[in-house]
Structures are given as C-alpha cells and as structure tokens.
Amino acid sequence: MRRRPCKLAFWCTLLLLATPSICLAGLLDFRKSADDAILPADQAFMVHAPLWDGKEMILGFAIAPGCYLYRDRITVEATRPAGYELGFASMPLGEAFADRHFGRTTIYRDSMQIRFRPKSGQPPTRIKVRYQGCAEGMVCYPWQTRLLSVITR
C-alpha cells in the first residue's frame, strides 16, 4: 500500500525552508540601511563632565569611530560665576585635514582633552561648551551646545 504524503508535514517543511530565506533577504536588503550607519549627534560626540584637579580644569571628549571634531569649532566659556575667565586653553595638536571646501584644517578623532589653567586658581562652577563635527564622508552635525557643572576632585 502506498503511503499518502501528509499535507501538514509538507507545508511545515515549506515554511521551515522559506523562513531562513525571508530573514536572509531582509539582511541583504541594503535599501533600508543607509541611515542605520549614522549615529545621532549625542552618540557621535560625548563630552565628559569637566574635572577640576586643584590646578587645572580638564574637559574631555569621546569621539565615535569614523567621526571627527574640528579644532577651530570648539568653544568653551564659563557661565558661573558671572564674569569668570577660563584663561589659557591647552589643546592637543590634532590631525591635519584637507577639506575641499574649507581648505587645510585640524581635526580630532577618538578622544581629546582640553586643559584650562585659570589665573584665579579657582574653578568655575558651570561652563558652556559648543562644538561641531562630522561623520566622515557621510554627514555633518550642527553646532552642539552643552551646559556642564564642574566636578571638583
């Protein structure tokens, strides 16, 4: 006697075989992934809370892979106490960068620190940081502004 194929088993087998194909097709669908590679501004650049070590205020940036900050597009000012002057800022040399539109410029990748040594010898309590950078070859982020309280060690 010939055994009749079980319909349910047949359809289950079809579904089992088709499912990985559907998933694979989804993974290979490049049309929807263009924006997925771009980080939001607050993940592309992270500013650490400024730290006062008794002599200097250290302000650190963490820069995501593939992103960079322009050296001449970072500004820092004290907002509290009023009229406080941060004094001389020591910034790393950075990386020379040739831009077709902006000419020769300097950028930072990965991480960087700015050190301030105020003449007063006292830390500010609050600062305003502004910075601007890009994800290389993809997008640029508008100027970001952060208000940060200074941590005293």
**Residue ranges that bind another protein, judged by CB under 8 A:** 10, 13-15, 17-22, 24-26, 29, 32, 34-35, 38-41, 73, 99-102, 132, 134-135, 137-142
The residue among 15 and 147 lying less far from another protein, judged by its C-beta, is 15
User: Nearest distance from residue 40's CB to another protein, in Å?
Assistant: 5
Distance of CA 130 to the CA centre of its chain: 14
User: Nearest distance from residue 36's CB to another protein, in Å?
Assistant: 10
The residue among 15 and 49 lying less far from another protein, judged by its C-beta, is 15
The CA-based diameter of the chain, rounded to the nearest angstrom, is 101
The residue among 10 and 88 lying less far from another protein, judged by its C-beta, is 10
- Cα(50)–Cα(53) distance, rounded to whole angstroms? 10
- Cα(53)–Cα(60) distance, rounded to whole angstroms? 13
User: Nearest distance from residue 141's CB to another protein, in Å?
Assistant: 5
**Total number of residues shown for the chain:** 153
Strand partners of residue 107: 70, 95
